[in-house]
Amino acid sequence: MHQTFNAALGINLLYANQQCADHNRSHFDEWGITCFNIMSSPGAGKTALLERTLASLSDELKIAVIEGDMTTNLDAERLQKYGVPVIAINTGRSCHLDAKMVAGGIHQLAQEYNAADFDLVLVENVGNLVCPAEFEVGEHAKVALLSVTEGEDKPLKYPIMFQEADCLLITKIDLAPYLDIDVSQIAANVWQMNPDVAIIPVSAKTGEGLEAWFDWVRRCFAAATRSQTSQHR
């Protein structure tokens, strides 16, 4: 009885979240914005990747960031240096961003700026390998990061994020020579459950692989824009 009640509660929660995510997505589509939900375990390198991405792409694409952390504005402060709007959301006891929290961020963006001027909204989710993948926020693509220090087995043990990702960045590739890690095995484990995912090894430290990531961002942005244009025709 108790289990049935909990399962029903979980389904209702996810249903309500999906409704709100769809609403966020319709705002993004109306404004011509492409949104990425960037997820990983704590410390895999999400903010470091965003720093390199803002440094290289913010002249080409107009970018805003929604920065999710349980507490502190430390990551938001790191990104504000790049001169783009960064909306910080503290989730308190929650281990992920949900669609309602992101809706608050979107409305703040729309109050302070002309939302239709933006090309990309990059959402850095709370560091957690499980829950963020369960809660859509209205994104056009899910980007997962797994650092080489985490081990080849993690996609098999924590599958949801890797099954759902549109792009997987294998991060901190500069550290691979110092570890007992087989990077091709990480890719094989992920492709086995998600054959369509793009897998790009990168280092935010040396810059290796970043051009491939930027190209993926450009392609995904162009595809979303084409689809938004045909929807609003």
Residue whose Cβ sits closest to ligand GTP: 127
The reply to whether 52 sits near Mg ion by the rule CB under 5 A is no
What is the SS3 assignment for 101?
Answer: helix
44 or 120: CB nearest ligand GTP? 44
Which residue from 18, 23, 43, 159 is in contact with ligand GTP, where contact means CB under 6 A?
43
Q: Are 129 and 153 in contact (CB under 8 A)?
A: no
What is the SS3 assignment for 41?
Answer: coil
What does 175 interact with, of ligand GTP, Mg ion, none (CB < 5 to 8 A by kind)? Answer: ligand GTP
Contact segment (CB under 5 A) with Mg ion among 69-77, 102-110, 136-144, 180-188 equals 69-77
CB of 125 to ligand GTP, least distance (A): 8
What does 182 interact with, of ligand GTP, Mg ion, none (CB < 5 to 8 A by kind)? Answer: none
Contacts (Cβ under 8 Å, ≥6 apart) of 74:
none
Q: Could you tell me the CA-to-CA distances from 140 to 38, 60, 81, 120, 177 in Å, in that order?
A: 11, 20, 26, 10, 34
Q: Are 99 and 136 in contact (CB under 8 A)?
A: yes
Which residue from 34, 41, 47, 53 is in contact with Mg ion, where contact means CB under 5 A?
47
Measured distance CA(92)–CA(67) in Å, rounded: 13
H-run or E-run covering 65? strand 63-69
Which residue from 97, 203, 210, 220 is in contact with ligand GTP, where contact means CB under 6 A?
203
Q: How many angstroms separate the first and last alpha carbons of the chain? A: 50
Contacts (Cβ under 8 Å, ≥6 apart) of 212:
200, 202
142 or 172: CB nearest ligand GTP? 172
Which residue from 204, 210, 217, 224 is in contact with ligand GTP, where contact means CB under 6 A?
204
What does 172 interact with, of Mg ion, ligand GTP, none (CB < 5 to 8 A by kind)? Answer: ligand GTP
CB of 200 to Mg ion, least distance (A): 19
Measured distance CA(121)–CA(62) in Å, rounded: 9
CB of 43 to ligand GTP, least distance (A): 4
Return residues touching ligand GTP (CB under 6 A). Answer: 40, 42-48, 75, 127, 171-172, 174-175, 203-205
